[in-house]
Structure 1
Amino acid sequence: MTAATAQVNGITVGYEDAGAGDPLVLVHGHPFDRSMWAPQVGAFAAGGWRVIAPDLRGYGATTVVPGTTPLETFARDIAALLDHLGLDRVVIGGLSMGGQIVMEFCRLFPERVRGLLLADTFPEAETEDGKRVRRDMAERLVREGLKGYTDEVLSKMVAPYNIEALPAVADHVRGMMYGAPPEGAAAALRGRAERPDYGDLLGRIAVPALVVVGRDDEYTPVTDAEAMHRRISGSELAIIEGAAHLPNLERPDEFNAALDRFLARVMTKA
């Protein structure tokens, strides 16, 4: 596993590059960093994939750019990183905000997508009330930092029963959130407030797709995942029992098994 940096689009991007083989790109959510994919990077790099997990602009080891970061900017950063690495077509997946960034990547660069993982995410544009909430939260994060916000929402990110049963997972999530740069997280919130609706895009997806959701996810409930599954022709749906918004961390074995089956299917369509 190699932790590296690249100079792309005027910023420094930190990323993991592990394993060898066909490329699998994993995009983290808000307000996390690439370490949220550690169970997947290790497993799939050992399983014959080249796994690339970047820190998004404003998070982790990647440059913080205050202001507003639209989903398009995140998607173009990923494309520029792939160009830097000499990679054309990839299987790409994201969780929560990362899933929305992946949808934007599909909108901009459909020819580069070989397979698609959408985890604990949803395609709709923000409501007017939602825009206000995200903008207000952005100002709060800049003003206060992320500790108070983290303490309020941790039990939605990780199911309460897993906070108790899996303290190392809860500590990892809490640490990512505490450590997120406030200006970077705020810029993402402002940009996400203005995201487009990806509903029509889902109907145009012509590559293998996997929709995953934690059974007890309050942010993006199972009904959202089922609706996405219906809109993407030929997609698979995996509901991970015993997990909330971060099934890849809360139930990594079950999440990885679903992803492994899906990737095997992608390979048959190579």
Structure 2
Amino acid sequence: MGYMINKDGQRLFYEDHGVGNAIICIHPPGMGRKVFAYQHELSKHFRLILPDLSGHGDSDTIKRKPHIEDFAEEIMALINHLKLDQVLIFGYSAGGSVAQAFALKYPDKVKGLMLSGAFPKVQTKLFRLEFLAGMAWLKRSPRSLAKLLSRSHFKNTLVKREQYTHLLKSDPYVWYSYYKESLNYDCSHLLDKLDMPLLLVYGARSEWVNHQAPFYKECAQAALVVVEKAYHQVPATHSSILNQAVIDFFHRTFISRD
């Protein structure tokens, strides 16, 4: 595990595995890089980079309220730190808000954009209620919310315990702010500017989330994968399907062109 020092003098920790085309995975609120435990298989095909955003996991926290754009700037700083040219960006759930914000601001840095359970804005009432419930639960008991999230993602006892412990490292203030920022984020009017290759992955049973998929018809190079019998937590619960979708997307989009 390595770390970089951001512009405010705080440490941002990340894992760096494998070689080749780099994928940077962006986690949702609270969860940190451990939510991508089952994406380590991708390091056999790519250079896999898993950061803890500020205030999450092993990274230092921040004193001010973070915005989605702040996290996007952290990704840019990490890319510069690692001296990377173009990268593949993978955003899971609300991590997709950071991924989209990054791709919109730095399109020349994005070789391809991959989103699992992502959304340009929170549109449905049920989805909004899910955010508000999570925020209320976090204020009441971060420990019980951490337990719920780790259990909903992982069945393996060891992996579940590691995720739970990692969640508890997150600063509740930053965690809450990330939730709130994602709830209010809206790039729906800018989707036509996401003209890089785009992979969208949704769980078929997570209707309140995958209802957002039609927004992306504005994106010229979008490909859609719907995972049957899956809910929202596809990277954890259906990792083999998601990982293969990422590999296939890359080969179909870039290798076959060569």
From 8, 11, 14, give the equivalent of 2:6.
8
Q: CA deviation at 1:50?
A: 1.0
From 187, 193, 211, give the equivalent of 1:223.
211
Distance 1:126 1:71, change over 3 A: farther
Give the secondary structure class of the aligned counterpart of 1:80: helix
What residue in structure 2 maps to residue 19 of structure 1? 18
CA distance in 2, matches of 1:120, 1:88: 27
Root-mean-square deviation (CA, aligned residues, Å) is 3.0
From 107, 120, 124, give the equivalent of 1:110.
107
Give the secondary structure class of the aligned counterpart of 1:53: strand
- Relative to the length of structure 2, the TM-score reads 0.85
Cα deviation 1:84-123 (Å, max 9, x = unaligned): 1101211101011110100100121111111000110110
Give the secondary structure class of the aligned counterpart of 1:45: helix
- Report if aligned partners of 1:208, 1:235 keep a CA contact under 8 Å in 2: yes
- Number of paired residues? 256
TM alignment of 1:81-160, pairs within 5 A? 81-124=78-121, 141=138, 143-150=139-146, 157-158=152-153
Distance 1:135 1:238, change over 3 A: closer
Q: Which deviates more from structure 2 when the two are superposed, residues 11-20 or residues 58-67?
A: 58-67
Cα deviation 1:129-164 (Å, max 9, x = unaligned): 9999968965763x5441233456677x54xxx76x
Q: CA deviation at 1:169?
A: 5.8
CA distance in 2, matches of 1:147, 1:14: 23
Q: Which deviates more from structure 2 when the two are superposed, residues 122-131 or residues 85-94?
A: 122-131
Q: CA deviation at 1:205?
A: 1.7
What residue in structure 2 maps to residue 263 of structure 1? 250
Amino acid at match of 1:64: T
Distance 1:147 1:176, change over 3 A: same
CA distance in 2, matches of 1:70, 1:124: 15
Amino acid at match of 1:250: T
- Report if aligned partners of 1:65, 1:183 keep a CA contact under 8 Å in 2: no
Distance 1:239 1:125, change over 3 A: closer
1:254 to 2:212 alignment:
no
From 203, 217, 220, give the equivalent of 1:214.
203
CA distance in 2, matches of 1:65, 1:126: 29
Q: Which deviates more from structure 2 when the two are superposed, residues 25-34 or residues 62-71?
A: 62-71
1:180 to 2:167 alignment:
no
Amino acid at match of 1:191: E
Distance 1:96 1:39, change over 3 A: same
CA distance in 1, matches of 2:64, 2:208: 25
CA distance in 2, matches of 1:131, 1:215: 19
CA distance in 2, matches of 1:20, 1:130: 37
Give the secondary structure class of the aligned counterpart of 1:107: helix
- Report if aligned partners of 1:131, 1:194 keep a CA contact under 8 Å in 2: no
CA distance in 1, matches of 2:84, 2:26: 16
Identity %: 24
Q: Which runs of 5+ in 1 are unaligned?
A: none
CA distance in 1, matches of 2:25, 2:34: 11
- Report if aligned partners of 1:202, 1:231 keep a CA contact under 8 Å in 2: yes
